[in-house]
């Protein structure tokens, strides 16, 4: 089994926050691959389906960000999922908007959700960081991550989420370089310029 975790905070007021980009990514994955409906379990909500020919579980912890590890460890223990078969998708301040990086293992880089997961399971799980950009001032970080995506953000957000969903089977197979390459290619495709109306002479 593959366990794919999207990090975020529960509650309607957080639903479209930058900090909840992991949840938004899981929604796209669930829709693309026909996962079952999300239901309450493991201090969160889960949906089951298949990826890369294997059974997969999507998990949105409902513990709030800094206790995410509790939900992840419960699901991993129940299904006996080794840490190298866990994928965690989350927001990254130090990546430009719309960028994606994936690696196995590493540190938390100040992310409370990752710090919590690191305290509950082995550190060699897959980390998928989705760039939300930095506000430029440390004092503005909290407001930035807990503010909603804007209409302008959708120009890069929607293609990013779609690309991650399309490429995630590669990462489920352990092909992280191919995963990142595919996401980069899909998000770099330029949209055709809008046609200008003809000018009356």
Residues with catalytic roles: 19
Distances (CA, A) of 151 to 61, 163, 178: 27, 19, 30
Q: What secondary structure does DSSP assign to 63-97, as a single string?
A: S-GGGHHHHHHHHHHHHT--GGGEEEEEEETTS-T
CA angle (51 as vertex; 55, 36 as ends), nearest 5:
70
Q: What's 13's DSSP letter?
A: G
E strand or H helix that includes residue 101: strand 100-104
Q: Residue 180: which residues within 8 A CB-CB, separation 6 or more?
A: 100, 101, 102
Please state, as a whole number, how many other Cβ atoms lie within 10 Å of the Cβ of residue 25. Answer: 28
């Amino acid at each position: 089994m593959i366990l794919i975790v999207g990090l975020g905070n529960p509650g309607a007021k957080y639903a479209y926050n930058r900090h909840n980009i992991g949840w938004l990514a899981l929604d796209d994955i669930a829709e693309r691959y026909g996962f079952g409906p999300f239901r309450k379990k493991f201090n969160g909500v889960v949906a089951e389906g298949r990826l890369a020919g294997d059974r997969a579980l999507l998990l949105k912890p409902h513990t709030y960000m800094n206790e995410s590890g509790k939900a992840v460890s419960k699901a991993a223990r129940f299904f006996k999922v080794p840490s190298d078969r866990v994928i965690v998708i989350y927001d990254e301040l130090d990546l430009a908007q719309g960028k994606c990086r994936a690696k196995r293992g590493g540190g938390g880089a100040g992310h409370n959700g990752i710090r919590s997961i690191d305290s509950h399971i082995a550190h060699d799980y897959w980390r998928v960081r989705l760039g939300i950009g930095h506000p430029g001032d440390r004092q503005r970080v909290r407001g930035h991550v807990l503010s909603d995506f804007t209409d302008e953000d959708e120009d890069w957000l929607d293609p990013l989420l779609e690309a991650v969903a399309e490429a995630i089977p590669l990462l489920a197979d352990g092909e992280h370089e191919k995963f990142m390459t595919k996401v980069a290619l899909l998000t770099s495709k330029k949209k055709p310029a809008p046609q200008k109306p003809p000018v009356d002479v």
